[in-house]
Amino acid sequence: MNEDVAFIQEQVDRHHVWFSESLPMIASENIISPLAREMLLVDFQDRYAEGLPGERYYQGNEFVDQVEVRVTELAKRLFRCRHADVRPISGTNANLAVLFALAEPSDTITSVALSDGAHISTAKFGAVGVRGLKTITYPFNTRDMNLDVDGTIKLLREVRPKIALFGQSVFLFPTPLKELRDTLQEIGSYVWYDGAHVLGLIAGGQFQDPLREGAEIITGSTHKTLPGPQHGILLAEPRDEKMEKKLLRAVFPGVVSNHHLHAMASLGITLAEHLEFGRAYAEQIMRNAKALGQALHERGLRVLCEHLGFTASHALAVDVTEHGGGAEVALNLERANIITNKNLLPTDTSPVRPSGIRLGSQELTRIGMRESDMQDVADLIARVVTKGEDPKKVARDVAAMRREFRSVHFCFEAGAAAHLRYRMTRPA
Ligand code: DSN
């Protein structure tokens, strides 16, 4: 065996063992279903398809086209929209496409501030900066972890942005789109909602329904509360045919060449599964997040927004300043096999010394945990964070807990021969 190959395989094996003994709680991740994972191994991985079904630049796309048409239909059905593009290869890539389609360099975009939980692509050193746009951020109510509606209306009227972007990566509560709708219509901005974190909740009929509340475009990655492959999606209710064409051309030839056909097929399986199981899954994610917030609060942790029930999504934000800050706490939790991330909170000024951690319930829910299990999870977290127990000792109990949660829920059963089927049809 080649030494480098063996090294890489060994690290991946070790990663698998580690994660099978861990509590994965990063709010932007999830695990894919067996049938969706199977699609990542198929021959689509080895092929090119540029453009749209029926209008390709490469031969060999007969079946790829059929899959893409069906995946696009599934996306439209799940999100109840007229336009869906399943070609963006990530959430940031979908965001770039929107910026490319609807703005020109030096235009203004309004968005949530990074320290209030916005995604990096809204920053001047992210996608917005790549497009040469100017970002102005909304006033934010840090107690409620949401936009200050009156201040935002005032700002929108003053700035009249080309694009008004909503949504964030610390996404605890629905955006007050309905309250902003009249103002946004009056000033004519494109209304764009980055729903990456909450796509699965939206599709499951929980959280909010942005396209019915004034948003014209939703972008997202497809591997968070929507538990699919690492990929992107762009959904829209375009104003007219011209806007729809701009969005399509911004994806290809704009920011995507080949769109990772295996991931696109895998996304199709995820969308079909979410049509079947998404509502039950989204409901349980939210019940678990609230239960975890309450349980952590009872164990002395400063979970934000107690007065609002901690969260109305999958995510929780916890201020751990008094326990050493976000960086130290996240590291200690990792040593205990509890995988989270340090996170900026609204009052923070230094991105390298954030005072918070962010927790998500979506993956724990996916492996079958329920509200009562959140008590045990909170106990394990508190032993590390508030009681200062040796993380390695806690890790043993985390691994023991994980033995009860081995399978992926809210998806179709994979046949025993599923993986073999594709291996057999591929040349060795
Ligand atoms: N970086 C991801 C997150 O953790 O929220 C979003 O892309």
Q: Report which protein residue has its CA nearest ligand 1's atom 5.
A: 169
Predicted pLDDT at 124: 85
Predicted pLDDT at 347: 82
**Nearest CA-CA partner of 365 in 303, 427, 277:** 277
DSSP state of 322: G
Residue 222 alpha carbon to ligand 1 centre in Å: 11
Residue 427, classified by CB atoms within 10 Å of its CB into exposed (0-12), middle (13-18) or buried (19+), is exposed
Chain-wide mean pLDDT for the chain?
A: 95
Band the pLDDT of 185: cuts 50, 70, 90: very high
Domains of the chain, earliest start first: 35-273 (3.40.640.10)
pLDDT digits (tens, 9 = 90+) for 281-311: 999 999 999 999 999 999 999 999 999 999 9
Q: Report which protein residue has its CA nearest ligand 1's atom 1.
A: 28
Beta bridge partners of 217: 192, 236
Outline where 299-389 has alpha helix (H).
326-335, 362-366, 371-385
Neighbours of 136 (CB within 10 A): 14
End-to-end CA distance of the chain: 17
Predicted pLDDT at 115: 87
39 and 269 Cβ atoms separated by less than 8 Å = yes
Residue 229 alpha carbon to ligand 1 centre in Å: 14
In the predicted model, what is the mean pLDDT of residues 409-427? Answer: 61
Residue 28 alpha carbon to ligand 1 centre in Å: 5
Predicted pLDDT at 313: 98
Question: Looking at the whole model, is its pTM more than 0.85?
Answer: yes
pLDDT digits (tens, 9 = 90+) for 186-222: 999 999 999 999 999 999 999 999 999 999 999 999 9
**CA-based angle 263:358:306, to the nearest 5?**
130
Q: Report which protein residue has its CA nearest ligand 1's atom 3.
A: 28
* Token representation of residue 175: 């955006």
234 and 97 Cβ atoms separated by less than 8 Å = yes
Residue 335 alpha carbon to ligand 1 centre in Å: 22
pLDDT digits (tens, 9 = 90+) for 1-29: 899 999 999 999 999 999 999 999 999 99
Q: Rounded distance, CA 47 to CA 58, Å?
A: 9
Ligand 1 atom index nearest CA of 221: 7
Candidate of 93, 170, 197, 199 to mutate for ligand 1, largest count of ligand atoms within 8 Å of Cβ: 197
Kindly state the percentage of the chain with pLDDT values over 70: 97
Band the pLDDT of 371: cuts 50, 70, 90: very high
Residue 29 alpha carbon to ligand 1 centre in Å: 8
**CA-based angle 58:62:68, to the nearest 5?**
95
Residue 342 alpha carbon to ligand 1 centre in Å: 12
**Nearest CA-CA partner of 82 in 237, 244, 240, 249:** 237
* Token representation of residue 423: 């291996």
Ligand 1 pocket at CB < 6 A: 28, 91, 119, 169, 196, 221
Q: Check whether 426 has a pLDDT greater than 50.
A: no
Q: Check whether 353 has a pLDDT greater than 90.
A: no
Residue 242 alpha carbon to ligand 1 centre in Å: 31
The H or E element spanning position 134 is strand 134-137
pLDDT digits (tens, 9 = 90+) for 82-117: 999 999 999 999 999 999 999 999 999 999 998 898
Predicted pLDDT at 395: 98
Ligand 1 atom index nearest CA of 26: 4
Name residues whose C-beta falls within 8 Å of residue 376's C-beta, 6 or more positions apart in sequence.
Answer: 401
In the predicted model, what is the mean pLDDT of residues 65-71? Answer: 98
pLDDT digits (tens, 9 = 90+) for 19-67: 999 999 999 999 999 999 999 999 999 999 999 999 999 999 999 999 9
Query: Which residue type occupies 8?
Result: I
Predicted pLDDT at 269: 98
Q: Report which protein residue has its CA nearest ligand 1's atom 2.
A: 28
Band the pLDDT of 419: cuts 50, 70, 90: low
